[in-house]
Structure 1
Amino acid sequence: MHGERLKDEGSKLQVVAAGATAGLISRFVIAPLDVVKIRLQLQTHSLSDPLSQRNLQGGPIYKGTLPTLRHILRHEGITGLWKGNVPAELMYICYAGVEFTTYRSTTLLLHSAFGEGSLPHGVESFAAGAAAGAAATVATYPLDLLRTRFAAQGNEDRVYPSLRRAVLTIRRDEGLKGFFRGLGPGLAQIVPSMGLFFAFYEWLRLPLGRLELPLGSGDAAAGVVASVIAKTGTFPLDLVRKRIQVQGPTRLRYVHKNIPEYRGTVQTVRTILATEGLRGLYRGLTVSLVKAAPASAVTMWTYERALKAYIELGEKGLDNWLS
């Protein structure tokens, strides 16, 4: 199966395989930081808040990445740091495959519509990245919601004992729309975030590639810088998405038992600003940026090398064997 190629960027099969490989490896590496980020995002108060503003009966109160890691290890064991990893792995594999495929297809479409090289490179990368992020978000959103809910539950009074039970329970109690809670802020975040990410990545990849950097190229460094820039500007929408994802009949059964009831993106933002201040929209930002660096570096570094390996295998007839 030798699909149409974009220069030396590989066939459709090779792009999907490389994207899935990158997503799988990246997710496993950063899973503990992802759990920490979700716990911090769902927390309505921190240790630095005045005592009068805290609800001490609302579950654990975390402060910082390392204390949260230690708290989870002490109370939930090492497996607590990989809660939600199964739906997350499935999400990352599917997300990366859809993302890179859509990015490539959108680039080809833009070349066909406007001519290759006619659009500024940054505009082309932004448009392709935004389209890729939106398509991948919609396609994998139910898995993202399941990942959040598993990461939010403790060992006592577990909300969902298994992935299968979670799917059946949400379908029964919340309907199909229950799997898409928070999709609005998710799309509002991912379009500019991924657009900026791919634009900065493509802009930085070649110049950084000429430098003598660890691991042999500037792919990883470009991925880190691009991810930090993109995520910082859109982080509040990510937090809003997490808060809405745990709404519904199980809202008060997670580790944080004082999660307020939110309805819609705008109302959620207003409530957080009124009760937690501007800082409330950035809970977990530090660990998110810490997570973004290795996640993006591993993803892009693995993708570039996996794609190269699959192209080499394809030249030996692997594509025909897989067809």
Structure 2
Amino acid sequence: MSFKGDHLKDEGSRLQVTAAGATAGLISRFIIAPLDVVKIRLQLQTHSLSDPLSTRDLQGGPIYKGTLPTLRHILRHEGIPGLWKGNVPAELLYVCYSAVQFATYRTTTQLLHGALGPETLPQSAESFIAGAVGGAAATAATYPLDLLRTRFAAQGNDKVYTSLARAIAQIHREEGPRGFFRGLGPGLAQIVPYMGVFFAVYETLRPHLSGLELPFSSGGAVAGTVASVLAKTGTFPLDLVRKRIQVQGPTRGRYVHKNIPEYYGGTVGAVRTILRNEGFRGLYRGLTVSLVKAAPASAVTMWTYERALRFYTGLGQRREESW
């Protein structure tokens, strides 16, 4: 099923789709980097201002309360560079992730069309399957970069890792190859329903919004925002568990939050520990900033993707004409 000539699954070659996805991820990541750092700090925080914790429990770690106070705290104690901690692995992550995601999404759709026919599956089901497969493939392929991004964003002025190369060497030496994949289980468990719901909602809303006068003259930006908010809220606890597991290991007590618990029993064990120690709301720490981040990130990603793809396809057509 195609929505005229600008449908993201049918337009452009594989190389053009990959390049457009990488461009979208690069720009989106840089814009929302400060909010991403705040989200990670809040997700790793196991206490709030209302908790009766002593200085010994905090071990000198900060207490963050809300998005803006956390931003101010980071600026005051770590400066502007503190808001872009982990940006190098994060940029690599977003570029590679977006490229793999969009390319796999397009390829999966074409395989479904070839195996079942283009009109066999409902649009929502087709988008869910393609989105889930694309998200899972991108998550698995880029997961070490995601773990590195989290660890850099979690460290304060007392640096655990001084550079990306040294971080890779240290993790490999102290934790082995498996250390780069801590939390992959909840990561995959989260991304499959997240991307499936995201693309299903996006593809459902986009054709209806494309003819309206919207910000940036793009129905894709608004559709991407709505899709991201719905998908993020439903899968947020798994994202939080992934972050908590990513900072396990020999460096667990050296990050800005020095009282991160040690979790056993994988994803299920971590969820049980959080529920027991922090209650149900403990699974949603950082949700507000996550939603604030998700809206502009998805809008910028989809808006940039559509225009980058249009640019690359136009460039390809001009080259063919010149030949």
> TM-score normalized by structure 2?
0.95
For structure 1, which segment, 236-245 or 205-214, has the greater mean C-alpha deviation from structure 2 after superposition?
A: 205-214
Comparing 206-215 with 179-188, greater Cα deviation is found at 206-215
The answer to whether the aligner puts 1:289 opposite 2:284 as a matched pair is no
Structure 1 unaligned residues grouped into runs of 5+:
none
Deviations 1:122-169 (A, max 9, x none): 00000000000000000000000000000000112x100000000000
Supply the distance in 2 between the matched residues of 1:86 and 1:180 (Cα, whole angstroms): 19
The question of 1:178 aligning with 2:179 is answered yes
Residue 319 to residue 101, structure 1, CA distance change in 2 (3 Å): farther
1:192 aligns with 193
Q: What is the identity percentage for the equivalent residue pairs of Structure 1 and Structure 2?
A: 78
For 1:311, the equivalent position in structure 2 comes to 313
> Matched residues in 1 for 2:133 and 2:122: separation?
17
Alignment of 1:106-185 (within 5 A): 106-156=108-158, 158-185=159-186
Change (3 A) 1:75 1:52: closer
Matched residues in 2 for 1:267 and 1:6: separation? Answer: 39
SS at match of 2:170: helix
**What is the aligned partner in structure 1 of residue 24 from structure 2?**
22
Matches of 1:242 and 1:131, distance apart in 2? 22
Which residue of 2 is the match for residue 206 of structure 1? Answer: 207
Task: State the Cα distance separating 1:49 from its structure 2 match.
Answer: 2.6
Distance (whole Å) between structure 2 residues aligned to residue 320 and residue 182 of structure 1: 50
Alignment-mate amino acid for residue 18 of structure 2: V
User: Scaled by the length of structure 1, what TM-score is found?
Assistant: 0.95
Write the distance in 2 (CA, Å) between the matches of 1:202 and 1:312: 23
Deviation at 1:48, TM superposition (A): 2.7
Alpha-carbon distance between aligned partners in 1 of 2:322 and 2:267, rounded to the nearest angstrom: 48
Offset, 1:217: 1.7
The question of 1:274 aligning with 2:281 is answered no
2:251 aligns with 250
Q: 1:319 and 1:304, CA in 2 relative to 1: closer, same or farther beyond 3 A? A: farther
CA distance in structure 2 between the aligned counterparts of 1:290 and 1:149, rounded to whole angstroms: 22
Indicate if the aligned counterparts of 1:6 and 1:108 stay in contact, CA closer than 8 A.
no
One-letter amino acid of the counterpart of residue 13, structure 2: S
**Counterparts of 1:149 and 1:227, CA distance in 2:** 24
Whether the 8 Å CA contact 2:8–2:306 is kept in 1: the answer is no
Q: Over aligned residues, Cα RMSD in angstroms?
A: 1.8
Matched, 1:37 2:39: yes
Q: Output one character per residue of 1:3-61: Cα deviation in whole Å (capped at 9) or x when no partner.
A: xx998510011000000000000000000000000000000001133457993435001
Is the 8 Å Cα contact of residues 132 and 195 (structure 2) preserved in structure 1? Answer: yes
Give secondary structure in 1 for the equivalent of 2:57.
Answer: coil
Is residue 72 of structure 1 aligned with residue 74 of structure 2?
yes
CA distances 1:209-231 after superposition (whole Å, capped 9, x unpaired): 11111111211000000000000
Rounded to whole Å, the distance in 2 between the matches of 1:125 and 1:240 is: 27
Aligned in 2, Cα 1:320/1:166: closer, same or farther, shift over 3 Å?
A: farther
- Over 3 Å counting, the alpha-carbon distance change for 1:41 and 1:304 in structure 2 is same
Secondary structure in structure 1 of the residue aligned to 2:297: helix
SS at match of 1:47: coil
* Alpha-carbon separation, structure 1, partners of 2:9 and 2:48: 51
- Within 1, Cα distance between the matches of 2:108 and 2:208? 24
Residue of structure 1 equivalent to 2:228: 227
> Deviation above 4 Å: which 4+ runs of structure 1?
5-8, 51-54, 318-321
Q: Structure 2: 5+ residue runs without aligned partners?
A: 1-6
Structure-2 separation of matches of 1:109 and 1:278:
41
Per mean C-alpha deviation after superposition, the further-off stretch among 190-199 and 57-66 is 57-66
Residue 161 and residue 51 in structure 1: after superposition, are their counterparts in 2 closer, same or farther (change >3 A)?
Answer: closer
Opposite residue 173 of structure 2, the aligned amino acid is: R
